[in-house]
Structure 1
């Protein structure tokens, strides 16, 4: 396994054919090397096939770690280096399920990631929260908001405002929450509403930036679209005077492994 994992580390730093060749070599050395399947999935141009590769990586990771390991170390995954290939594969599989329209299945995978690692080093909660709202599972979304109440990303206040609107409509309380969200990142409404000239998918971002807004809109856009009247409310309450949503540009979509 150690030699196969070393090949994967080399592959992560490589591009093109060499990257895939190193991953395949790692699998030949050790079929239980989960990161090798992750690498092949990341280079796959088809979401369905990528999902199958991630699923193979998940199973490889389970075999490599063993059932007893899961029982003894639940809650501490990711902090243990040997768990990270499995966690990467499971997250990738969840993202592919979202891309394939299987949001309910993806929720189960995201919840398993949080169960194994409540510290959520992978940022799984940022995908799970809006997904729960999109599926109408508002009570679960409220619980997740409370569990990670110290989250500082723009996703949290915008989802908090959306949940208030879904339950209360346009009220002073929901407007106050929306104002707090706009204060956290004023660029998000334009991205969600398709009014902004969007840059490429951000490799990194700072809080309150346009880059964060692109990431945030990709995550929460589906939840806002699935909430009756929410986009109209966002247009009316978050836009500056004189702005119009009549000329909408495509908003960024939630990024999936493809």
Structure 2
């Protein structure tokens, strides 16, 4: 018979769980136990051995759903002064004394001890299951370990806990300037980036658009990510609208140029290409050379205006490697006045 459980603790080869319809904790032996995370909800059924005794459980489905966590999510409250207007912030969930254990985990993470940091963070979550920043940092650790699927779950848990704190129909803002808002905004950003790695472009766009609504000053720079995501999702008009609304700069100058090429507006494309070249010279020669971008080039620290930056952009924007943009660049490179310029 299938049953639903909330995972309390992940162990090697098993998970400590609490049935959704009971209070008593149970330990279930499951395959690939370390792919699950704390407070994830699973549907499982027992597998019987030859003696008819259940020794292993099969997980039928799993979902990130914080609605079954005991207690209440952190509250979002108005900032409390007329100048703040619609500005809101997350109320304190953990006292400064209690958060010392969390700071110990961050210190371990800063020193490069991921094992200790993860152990301390998971213990902290057991005590404070709605602590958004713990999920966010566990997502970072799993990303560094190359466990993208598990990292996605941690970021999503932090994000969805924050959504539970924001009432339905919420029309206020959660500005970055208020330190209490940053864990949620960071978890949301991490979730969006993890969705991008899964090529769930429109889901990532939805998260980024929400971040912009909550924090219009965009201290995290998510507006720069939207145009390319819309292009990858085959929504060029939305990409154009985003560029016109937020402006085109950085590598998005090349995105605007690409849109003009796709629409057959060669003169406008040339104008945007000239502006893009003043920012980064490497992309056209990489496109014409058909240079492949390695995983290392795409994930290392990126220097503004560098070949690595152009390589990462190309990896995320394959539209430049199609025939029309390549033909456009080849014709321009064949023009001596343009090459001299």
The offset of 1:73, in angstroms, is 3.9
What is the CA–CA distance in structure 2 between the aligned matches of 1:29 and 1:143, rounded to whole Å? 45
TM-score using structure 2 length: 0.59
What is the CA–CA distance in structure 2 between the aligned matches of 1:83 and 1:110, rounded to whole Å? 16
Q: Highest CA radius of gyration, 1 or 2?
A: 2
- The structure-2 alpha-carbon separation of the partners of 1:134 and 1:234, relative to structure 1 and needing over 3 Å to count, comes to farther
Q: For structure 2, list consecutive stretches of 5 or more residues without a partner in the other structure.
A: 1-93, 337-341
Residues 202 and 215, structure 1, Cα contact 8 Å, conserved in 2: no
Match of 2:149 among 48, 61, 76: 48
1:183 and 2:278 equivalent? Answer: yes
Q: Secondary structure in 2 aligned to 1:195?
A: coil
Q: For structure 1, list consecutive stretches of 5 or more residues without a partner in the other structure.
A: 242-258
Could you say which residue in structure 1 is the equivalent of 2:161?
60
Deviating above 6 A after TM superposition, structure 1's stretches of 4 or more consecutive aligned residues are 196-199
Q: Say which structure, 1 or 2, has more relative contact order (CA 8 Å, 6+ apart).
A: 1
Could you say which residue in structure 1 is the equivalent of 2:332?
237
Q: 1:8-53 CA distances to partner (integer Å, 9 max, x unpaired)? A: 5435523221221232132123111112112212222332221111
Could you say which residue in structure 1 is the equivalent of 2:74?
none
Could you say which residue in structure 2 is the equivalent of 1:98?
196
Could you say which residue in structure 2 is the equivalent of 1:252?
none
- The structure-2 alpha-carbon separation of the partners of 1:88 and 1:228, relative to structure 1 and needing over 3 Å to count, comes to farther
Q: Secondary structure in 2 aligned to 1:203?
A: coil
Could you say which residue in structure 2 is the equivalent of 1:112?
210
1:213 and 2:310 equivalent? Answer: yes
Structure with greater strand percent: 2
Q: 1:164-218 CA distances to partner (integer Å, 9 max, x unpaired)? A: 111115x222222222212221012344565388774443524x33344344334
Q: Secondary structure in 1 aligned to 2:111?
A: coil
The offset of 1:146, in angstroms, is 1.9
Number of residue pairs matched? 232
Q: 1:77-114 CA distances to partner (integer Å, 9 max, x unpaired)? A: 32221111111111121222222222121111111111
Match of 2:123 among 25, 32, 45: 25
Match of 1:166 among 246, 256, 262: 262
Residue pairs, 1:121-200, within 5 angstroms: 121-149=219-247, 152-153=249-250, 155-168=251-264, 171-191=266-286, 194-195=290-291, 200=297
1:13 and 2:110 equivalent? Answer: yes
Q: Secondary structure in 1 aligned to 2:207?
A: helix
What is the CA–CA distance in structure 1 between the aligned matches of 2:108 and 2:333, rounded to whole Å? 45
The offset of 1:69, in angstroms, is 11
Residues 8 and 35, structure 1, Cα contact 8 Å, conserved in 2: no
- The structure-2 alpha-carbon separation of the partners of 1:173 and 1:72, relative to structure 1 and needing over 3 Å to count, comes to closer
What is the CA–CA distance in structure 1 between the aligned matches of 2:125 and 2:334, rounded to whole Å? 52
Q: Secondary structure in 2 aligned to 1:178?
A: helix
Structure with greater helix percent: 1
What is the CA–CA distance in structure 2 between the aligned matches of 1:119 and 1:189, rounded to whole Å? 32
